[in-house]
Chain A
Amino acid sequence: MSLRAVPEALRPLPIRVRPRPAETVASYVVRLARANHLQPSYLHAYLCGPPDWRGAADLGRLAVLCGRPLSVLQRALTGPTPARQPTPEPPGGPPRPPTPARTPKPRHTTELAATIRHHDQPLEAGAAPAIPTSQPAPAWAAGPTAAWTGRTVDRKVTSTGVISYANTNYSVGRPFTGQMVQVTCADGVVQIFQGGQPLRTWPRRHPPAKEASIKPDRSHPRGEVALDHAHRLAPLGDLATDPHVVHRLVDPTGSVSFAGRYYLAGHALTGQVVQVRCAGGIVQVVHGGELVRAWRQRHTPQQEQRMLQRPNIQQRTANARPLTSAPQHQPVTPGRP
């Protein structure tokens, strides 16, 4: 028997299942299948019908199998459904009065997520590039715990343009990806700054109890040091005269080798030549006269001494050895052993 054979007449399933209000078609099909001891995927394929037996379930076939009128299913079930058949108008009879308009509710998870995403609105826009505004944020009721912590922490903007503060993500903007910003929370408002300039202001979404466990340098894994802190420890004014500065070529992974250790310079600098030095226990990566990264020292002073003996830049990669002259081949003289 082939799937493409003439389909037999549809018959109601032996066990009926009542649809729940606002239930999706998929959920109802699963419940109907399990009640009749069928595989949900099998029943779904049967509801799709020939010739492909795939796609969206046909409400007409579902109405026959569940033994309920099509209009009842159209009224009860929600979710992705095929094009609904227009319900015939009653022959004669007064038309129904129009139902009052209701606020549409998001049906799909994506719509619900988009609604949540647009729930927050920056109360003030700083010196940031133009970013599409969102819907107004709801009025937050300031509770007794909405105290001002008065603590500013540094956060690094991720690749998606958000920073994490008290286990809650707050948007800064993709143009600030990779940059350090300062975050503080006061009176139920989260403020994001950069260089003293306000960037974003968001209503607090995190529980106030989590603010006590905020670490100032949480966004600095692997020993990365904040740039301003590195500036204070080792100013760049004497960079040109510092004999401990070496040039390094950033490898394809965005790292440079310094004293036997790899320090991340940034993927944006791949193939670029940067200046690296270690001062005050901090390894500074400088490009174009500007400090781009600062890391806590992970190498030993002995390794640094050995490195300084060979400070020249590598030709190809961080571990490339200098090219040597090719061996000369002796010509073969006939008759000579």
Chain B
Amino acid sequence: MVSPTNANPSSHPHAAWRAAVDGEDEHHHLTTVEGWRQFVADAPRPPALLPTSRWERLERADRLADDEARLDYHTRLGVVATSALRQVVHTGRRLMLLNRHAISARRGLIVSGAAGTGKTTAITQLGKTHELMDRQRHPGGDRIPVVYVTVPPAATPRMLAVEFARFLGLPITARANITDVIEAVCGVCCDTRTALVLVDEIHNLQLSTRNGAEVSDTLKYFSERIPATFVYAGVDVERAGLFAGTRGQQLAGRFGLIPTLAFLYASEWQGLVATLEDALRLYRHRPGALTRLDRYLHLRTGGMIGSLSHLIRGAAIEAILSGSEQLTKHSLEAVGLDHAAHHGPVGTRRQPARA
């Protein structure tokens, strides 16, 4: 028998990492309402650094606890409010206000861009913002203001409906047909005042195929039944053919598009690196050391915020585990990145210096 639990992160940083380690077996996904609520309620505080002299005199057990707390913090490192993220949140909020009294033909939003440009982060931050505001206006746990689903690969209409039902926690067995599932999903969403539906991995939807067309029709049906604003996110949806054909034209006529691009080496990139450096909690890191490496970081990551976050977090974790407690170019070069960062477009390839 499985008993549902909901581990609330404690305010104390040391208790937070213990709760995170203890709850590893109960990993809640964003695609469940429990996981989504945990994500919304999650507000990790950066651990306070002890004075260096005191830190050096810590006992082994205390040093271990302090390292574990900082390791757990650096695995998350928070979300940076980039221009793209602010645009997505701002546009999404305005669309939800415009759709408040709409009977049908509600406007939506599509976030499109290459992998690692922060699409999922942007739409999840939009959902988190809306849910926090909804909780302030309507305290109590009976509402589900945001629904987050991902389009599975080779999706069928029933698979998509099951994704919605799985998020809401509706039991699905082989006996349930698509009509019953859709009815239950729409009924529950209407009763729980769902106002925002986030559909990620929309590039898995191929309108040229029969199943893809039916999935698109199912999404359209959901948008008509559920009085909510639909936000899609996917990898290069324009080139994936999302706006092709009659259904694509309807999407193009009702959905706005916000592209997420790689950062150019400009002031925003430098500010991004500085923000991430300020979030580090290393005892021997010199302030400004990372900002002096911003050009190297841009060449190394190709301007992708996802690769940059992975690079800095990986190097910080390695610095804690090794005891160096600082980030250098040498430690950054030791962190491996994704294939796209290593083999970018011709003329922009970046190869890490061999150790």
Contact = CB atoms under 8 A, between A and B. Distances in A.
A2 to B, nearest CB: 6
27 contacts: A1-B173, A1-B174, A3-B173, A9-B2, A10-B1, A10-B2, A10-B4, A11-B32, A11-B34, A12-B4, A13-B170, A14-B144, A15-B188, A15-B192, A36-B184, A37-B191, A38-B171, A38-B180, A42-B176, A42-B180, A45-B175, A60-B1, A64-B1, A64-B2, A64-B4, A65-B171, A67-B4
Interface of B: 1-4, 32-34, 142, 144, 168-171, 173-176, 180, 183-184, 186-188, 191-192
A14 B174 contact: no
A14 B1 contact: no
A210 interface: no
Given A2-B174, A64-B1, A64-B3, A14 B33 contact: yes
Contacts of B4: 10-12, 64, 67
B229 to A, nearest CB: 20
B2 A38 contact: no
B180 A39 contact: yes
Query: Which 9 residue pairs spanning A and B have beta carbons closest together?
Result: A37-B187, A9-B2, A37-B184, A11-B169, A14-B168, A46-B171, A1-B174, A14-B188, A10-B2
B188 A42 contact: no
Interface of A: 1-3, 9-16, 35-39, 42-43, 45-46, 53, 60-61, 64-65, 67
Contacts of B180: 38-39, 42
Given A10-B4, A45-B173, A64-B3, 16 more contacts: A3-B174, A3-B175, A12-B4, A13-B170, A14-B33, A14-B168, A15-B192, A36-B187, A37-B184, A38-B170, A38-B171, A38-B184, A39-B180, A42-B175, A45-B175, A65-B171
Contacts of B176: 42
B188 A36 contact: yes
Nearest to A49: B1
A37 B174 contact: no
A9 B166 CA distance: 11
B155 to A, nearest CB: 15
B2 A14 contact: no
Contacts of A35: 191
A2 B168 CA distance: 22
Contacts of A1: 173-174
Contacts of B33: 14
A137 B261 CA distance: 89
A73 B175 CA distance: 27
A11, A46, A64: residue with the most chain B Cβ atoms closer than 10 Å: A11
A64 B4 CA distance: 7
Contacts of A43: 171
A38 to B, nearest CB: 5
Chain A's interface: helix, strand, loop or mixed, by majority? loop
Given A38-B184, A64-B1, A64-B4, A14 B169 contact: yes
Given A14-B33, A15-B188, A37 B183 contact: yes
A46 B187 contact: no
B170 A36 contact: yes
A43 B180 CA distance: 12
Contacts of B34: 11
Contacts of A3: 173-175
B188 A37 contact: yes
B171, B174, B187, B188: residue with the most chain A Cβ atoms closer than 10 Å: B171
Contacts of A42: 173, 175-176, 180
A46 B2 CA distance: 15
A120 to B, nearest CB: 48
A9 B186 CA distance: 23
A2 B1 CA distance: 20
B188 to A, nearest CB: 5
Given A37-B183, A42-B176, A64-B4, A16 B142 contact: yes
A38 B175 CA distance: 12
Contacts of A37: 183-184, 186-188, 191
A46 B173 contact: yes
A64 B1 CA distance: 9
A46 B169 CA distance: 13
A155 to B, nearest CB: 54
Contacts of A36: 170, 184, 187-188
Contacts of A45: 173, 175
A9 B173 CA distance: 12
A60 B4 CA distance: 12
Contacts of A16: 142
B38 to A, nearest CB: 13
B187 A13 contact: no
B162 to A, nearest CB: 9
B227 to A, nearest CB: 16
Nearest to A1: B174
Contacts of B192: 14-15
B194 to A, nearest CB: 10
A65 B172 CA distance: 13
B236 to A, nearest CB: 32
A53 B175 CA distance: 11
A67 B142 CA distance: 12
A322 B114 CA distance: 104
Contacts of B183: 37
Nearest to A39: B180
A315 to B, nearest CB: 64
A1 B33 CA distance: 23
Nearest to B186: A37
A45 B191 CA distance: 24
Contacts of B170: 13-14, 36, 38
A30 to B, nearest CB: 15
A119 to B, nearest CB: 45
Nearest to A50: B173
A49 to B, nearest CB: 10
Nearest to A41: B175
A3 B173 CA distance: 7
Nearest to B183: A37
Given A15-B142, A16-B142, A39-B180, A53 B173 contact: yes
A43 to B, nearest CB: 7
Nearest to A58: B1
Contacts of A46: 171, 173
